[in-house]
């Protein structure tokens, strides 16, 4: 029996979101003049809220504004590492660290599944001791520069579940021979939570809190 513990990241393990702070962190370090372009981010967000652009396009535009269309990975890497250190120092729930340690001690394989970009998530996952990362990828992951373009699907909602299933298949893990725990704060992860054997609502926003009550999923209010 394969034991797997799947964690969402933003606002589940972390206290607050990580993507926009990552863009601002990199901009401030690499090209401070780009911080002026942060003025446009609320307008891009408004376009998303009005359904003029999809969520994936929202992320691509914001990255192009704050980092650029094409950036060398070697140039980005020191700032990715410093940002991961910053997240670990100031933006991780102690309750999440305790639960991760518990799952590891119980023999669970730790998987971080997040809509955030693999570009910086892997550095955070490494510091947390995760065994695998399922995340949104950039186009041409094998290139030595990062493009502001998503490869495949944004790892969100039902797409996240499809990516989890694809990862399991690639690892030779059969659903019928596995026990899965899943943790999330947001109702968009309902497909992942429904897929699991043990679903946990972590500091849930109201829609997930309501669904968790209906489904009988335990609520965890990590500090």
Does residue 142 surpass a pLDDT of 70? no
Mean pLDDT (the chain) is: 95
When mean pLDDT is compared across 25-29, 104-108, 141-145, the lowest value belongs to 141-145
Does residue 91 surpass a pLDDT of 70? yes
Return d(Cα 144, Cα 163) in angstroms, integer: 24
pTM of the predicted model as reported, rounded to 2 decimal places: 0.93
Tens digits of residue pLDDT in 153-181: 999 999 999 999 999 999 999 999 999 99
Return d(Cα 34, Cα 28) in angstroms, integer: 8
Determine the pLDDT at residue 141.
62
Mean pLDDT for 69-85 is: 93
Tens digits of residue pLDDT in 173-214: 999 999 999 999 999 999 999 999 999 999 999 999 999 999
Percent of the chain with pLDDT over 70: 99
Return d(Cα 180, Cα 189) in angstroms, integer: 14
Strands (E), the chain: 2-7, 70-72, 109-117, 132-138, 145-147, 150-151, 178-184, 198-202, 219-220
């Amino acid at each position: 029996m394969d034991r797997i513990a799947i964690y969402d990241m933003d606002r589940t393990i972390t206290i607050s979101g990580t993507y926009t702070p990552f863009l601002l962190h990199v901009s401030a370090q690499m090209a401070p003049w780009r911080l002026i372009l942060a003025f446009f981010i609320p307008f891009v967000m408004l376009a998303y809220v009005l359904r003029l652009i999809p969520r994936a396009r929202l992320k691509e535009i914001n990255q192009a504004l704050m980092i650029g269309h094409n950036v060398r990975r070697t140039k980005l890497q020191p700032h990715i590492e410093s940002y991961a250190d910053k997240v670990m120092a100031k933006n991780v729930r102690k309750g999440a660290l305790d639960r991760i340690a518990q799952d590891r001690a119980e023999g669970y394989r730790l998987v971080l599944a997040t809509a955030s970009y693999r570009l910086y998530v892997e550095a955070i996952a490494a510091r947390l001791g995760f065994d695998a990362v399922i995340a949104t990828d950039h186009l041409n992951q094998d290139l030595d520069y990062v493009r502001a373009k998503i490869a495949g699907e944004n790892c969100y909602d039902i797409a996240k579940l499809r990516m989890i299933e694809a990862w399991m298949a690639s690892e030779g893990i059969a659903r019928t021979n596995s026990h899965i725990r899943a943790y999330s704060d947001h109702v968009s992860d309902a497909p992942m939570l429904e897929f699991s054997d043990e679903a946990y609502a972590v500091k849930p926003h109201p829609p997930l809190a309501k669904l968790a009550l209906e489904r009988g999923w335990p609520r965890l209010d990590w500090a």
